[in-house]
Every structure is written in structure tokens, then in C-alpha cells.
């Protein structure tokens, strides 16, 4: 039986678990989120069991429930379904994707993102209510997210900032182009779902590109894709579809812009973690190591590497 991975006081995941729990409590108590305690419990238990099963199957030395808890809590916040089986499927798929869909030691998709898209596509019983936050929740949420940036020195904040800046530019730009009053883009941006996505989902160090350049380009592309889905295809949940699509290209980003892999955070204990990406018995592993391309050096120089080197202080916390 693997030992329980410890969670240090300084682990950003602690902050994430605490803030997601608060958001869930606030959402159910005041915003009328359709999540019962039983449903939330079902999702959390399924996710933890899936994590345990994965840990055993992959013979990992430590059972790390914390990241699964984050995935489960965010599923509680985002997934709406009346079918308990669909909720369980989503929770199992989220955690299963971490073990099964791997590429060069990283899981390919953000677990929550993958699970949501999967149940939206394959079942007829799931939906995501992105408009349910309201402005009070938005500003509270914004405060929490900003606080996190200050506390954790914006480790991997680059992808979040790139996503938010691109979204802002696209949404405001579109309204300016259409001569709409600015209240419209700001109303669109004043969305709890946007913050949840930007601060908790896209910032996942396990599924974002390794290099800062890659992450900034990735964040901008996901925002562009989300805007395309919203303004051209007129479909809801653009960010989810866009993230799942561009996640497929992350290995390519890592080839073009290699960088230091985010280390798993198990806290400042004597515990010596085996890097999460380096376990030896994945059930399915597409091991295509990125090799330094000849273009790499040229590209780095060309891409203004000095600024990037300055900025390159890689953090490594788990996101949803």
C-alpha cells in the first residue's frame, strides 16, 4: 500500500483546495448551484478511488490525493448533471486521463477539462452553467485569485496572464469594432467562469508547456480559440473546447520551446518525491522524447530570450 503523500503548509494546492471548497460552499448556499452534498461527495469519493486505483496500477510509491481532490472540487463547481453515473464517469475520467493519456511523462489534458468535454460529448445528461456566478461572486473570486498571485508569487502565472490579457484584448476589441458600449465587454469579462478557468484550470503546470514562451503562446491561443467558439460558432463553454484542443499541441510546444519541467510539489519535507512524470509503469505511454531541434537556438534568440530568462522562474504547483 503506498504511503500518503504529505501536504505542506506552503503547498499552493492547499490554497487551491481551500478556495475551491469556499467557492463551492458559497455557490451552493447563496448562488443556488445545483450540487447537493451527496453529489459532491460522490464525485470526490470516485475521484479519490480512481487516484488510488491509478496509484496501485502504476505502482507509485505515494498516494497523492490532493491533486485529485482539486480536480473533484472543480468538477463539483462546473459539472451539472442529474445522473449520478455521469458524475461518477466524469470523476473517474478526470483522474483516469492523468494515468492513461500521457505524453513524455506529462498528462496531456487538464483532468477536469478532459472530463467535462468527455461527458458533454458522449452523454446526453451533462451541461455546464457558465452564467451562474453573478457579480458579487465575481469580485470576491477576483480578490481570492489576486491574493493567490501575491502569496505564491505568480508561479506559472504567465499562462493565466497571457490568457486573461488575450481575452481582454479580443473581447474589448470586438466590441470596439462593433461600436458597442464598453459595458458589454466588461460584462462579458466579469464572469466567475472566466476566473475559474484562468486561475485554476489553464494554469495547471502538468498540462501547460514547459517553457515560458510556450506557455504565453499557449495561453493566447486558448483565449483566441475560446473567442472563436463564442463569437463565430456562437456556442457556450468556448474555453473548455479551446483548452482541450490546444492541449493536444502542448508536446509540439515543448519540442519547439523546451523548458524545465515543473516539479511536483510535495512540500518542504524530507520526503524525496519521485517526479510525478517519471513513474515507470504507465498503462499507456506515448514516449516520444522531445529532442532539441536545430531551430531551437535560433528561435530562442529570435524570441527575445533575455526578457524570458529574466522571467523564467519556474514554479510547480498543481492546478485543477
Partner 1 sequence: MTMGSDYQGDPKDFAIVIPVPRPIEKGQIHIGDPKLLERLDAYSSPRLVEYHDPDPCVPHDYAAAPSAAGMIQRKSASEKDRARSLGVTIEASYTVGEYDILILSASQSSGLATWLRENGYRIPRGAAQVLDSYVRQNMRFFVAKVNLGEKTKLGFSTLRPIQIAYDSPKFMLPIRLGMANANGPQELFVYALTRKGRVETTNYRTVRLPSDADVPIYVKDRFADFYRALFSKQVARENRQAVFTEYAWDMAWCDPCAADPLSREELRGLGVFWVAAGDARGGGSEVFLTRLHVRYDAAHFPEDLAFQETADRQNFQARYVLRHAWSGDLACDAMPYIDSVRKRHEEEARTLATLTGWRLDEIRRTMKLDAPADDGAWWRKIW
Residues that bind partner 1 (CB under 8 A): 31-32, 34, 80-82, 123-127, 129-136, 177-181, 183-184, 186-188, 191, 233-236
Say how far apart CA 110 and CA 87 lie, in whole Å.
17
- Minimum distance, C-beta of residue 131 to partner 1, in the bound complex (Å): 5
Provide the minimum distance between the beta carbon of 177 and partner 1 in the complex, in angstroms, as a whole number. 7
Least separation in angstroms between residue 81's CB and partner 1 is: 7
Cβ 122 to partner 1 shortest distance, Å: 12
Torsion, Cα 118 121 123 128, to 10 degrees, reads 80
How many C-beta atoms lie closer than 10 Å to residue 4's C-beta? 11
* Count of helix runs (H) and strand runs (E) in the chain: 14, 7
- In angstroms, give the least distance from the CB of 134 to partner 1: 5
Question: Of the two residues 195 and 220, which places its CB atom closer to partner 1 in the complex?
Answer: 195
At its nearest, how many Å lie between partner 1 and the CB of residue 318? 29
Q: Which is nearer to partner 1, 177 or 272 (CB)?
A: 177
Nearer to partner 1, 74 or 130 (CB): 130
31/308 with CB nearer partner 1? 31
Query: Minimum Å distance from CB 175 to partner 1?
Result: 8
CA gap 155, 173 in Å, rounded: 29
Which CB sits closer to partner 1, 183 or 269? 183
Single out the residue of 129, 9, 115 nearest to residue 71, CA to CA: 115
Strand pairing report for 62-63 and 3-4: parallel
Contacts of 298 (CB under 8 A, 6+ apart): none
Closest approach of Cβ 75 to partner 1, in Å? 16
Q: Which residues contact 16 (CB under 8 A, 6 or more apart)?
A: 70, 200, 317, 318, 319, 320
Tell me how long the chain is: 320
Phi, psi dihedrals of residue 251, rounded to the nearest 5°: -60, -35
Closest CB to partner 1 among 81 and 208?
81
Q: Which is nearer to partner 1, 6 or 236 (CB)?
A: 236
- Tell me, rounded to whole angstroms, the distance of Cα 281 from its chain centroid: 24
Classified as helix, coil or strand, 81 is strand
Cell numbers for 258, please give them.
523546451
* Closest among 254, 249, 274 to 263, alpha carbons compared: 274
Backbone angles phi, psi at 106, to 5 degrees: -120, 145
All three cell numbers of 315, joined, read 514554479
Closer residue to partner 1 (CB): 16 or 28: 28
CB of 96 to partner 1, least distance (A): 22
Q: Which is closer to partner 1, CB of 6 or CB of 134?
A: 134
Nearest to 92 by CA among 43, 137, 40: 43
Amino acid at each position: 500500500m503506498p504511503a500518503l503523500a504529505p501536504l505542506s503548509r506552503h503547498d499552493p494546492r492547499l490554497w487551491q483546495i481551500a478556495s475551491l471548497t469556499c467557492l463551492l460552499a458559497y455557490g451552493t448556499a447563496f448562488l443556488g448551484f445545483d450540487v447537493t452534498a451527496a453529489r459532491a461527495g460522490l464525485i470526490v469519493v470516485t475521484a479519490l478511488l480512481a487516484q488510488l486505483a491509478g496509484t496501485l496500477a502504476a505502482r507509485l510509491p505515494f498516494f497523492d490525493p490532493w491533486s485529485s481532490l482539486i480536480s473533484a472540487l472543480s468538477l463539483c463547481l462546473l459539472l451539472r448533471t442529474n445522473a449520478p453515473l455521469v458524475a461518477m464517469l466524469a470523476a473517474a475520467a478526470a483522474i483516469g486521463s492523468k494515468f492513461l493519456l500521457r505524453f513524455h511523462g506529462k498528462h496531456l489534458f487538464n483532468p477536469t477539462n478532459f472530463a467535462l468535454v468527455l461527458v458533454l460529448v458522449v452523454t446526453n445528461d451533462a451541461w455546464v452553467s457558465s452564467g451562474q456566478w453573478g457579480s458579487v461572486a465575481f469580485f470576491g473570486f477576483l480578490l481570492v485569485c489576486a491574493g493567490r498571485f501575491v502569496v505564491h508569487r505568480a508561479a506559472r502565472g504567465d499562462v493565466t496572464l497571457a490568457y486573461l490579457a488575450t481575452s481582454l484584448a479580443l473581447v474589448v476589441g470586438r466590441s470596439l469594432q462593433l461600436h458597442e458600449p464598453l459595458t458589454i465587454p466588461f460584462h462579458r469579462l466579469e464572469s466567475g467562469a472566466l476566473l475559474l478557468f484562468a486561475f485554476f484550470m489553464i494554469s495547471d503546470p502538468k498540462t501547460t508547456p514547459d517553457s515560458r514562451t510556450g506557455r504565453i503562446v499557449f495561453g493566447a491561443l486558448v483565449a483566441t480559440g475560446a473567442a472563436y467558439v463564442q463569437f463565430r460558432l456562437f456556442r457556450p463553454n468556448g474555453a473548455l473546447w479551446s483548452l482541450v484542443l490546444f492541449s493536444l499541441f502542448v508536446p509540439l510546444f515543448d519540442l519547439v520551446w523546451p523548458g524545465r519541467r515543473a516539479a511536483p510539489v510535495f512540500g518542504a519535507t524530507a520526503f524525496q518525491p519521485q517526479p510525478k512524470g517519471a513513474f515507470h509503469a504507465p498503462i499507456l505511454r506515448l514516449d516520444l522524447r522531445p529532442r532539441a531541434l536545430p531551430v531551437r537556438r535560433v528561435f530562442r534568440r529570435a524570441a527575445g530570450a533575455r526578457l524570458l530568462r529574466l522571467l523564467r522562474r519556474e514554479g510547480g504547483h498543481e492546478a485543477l
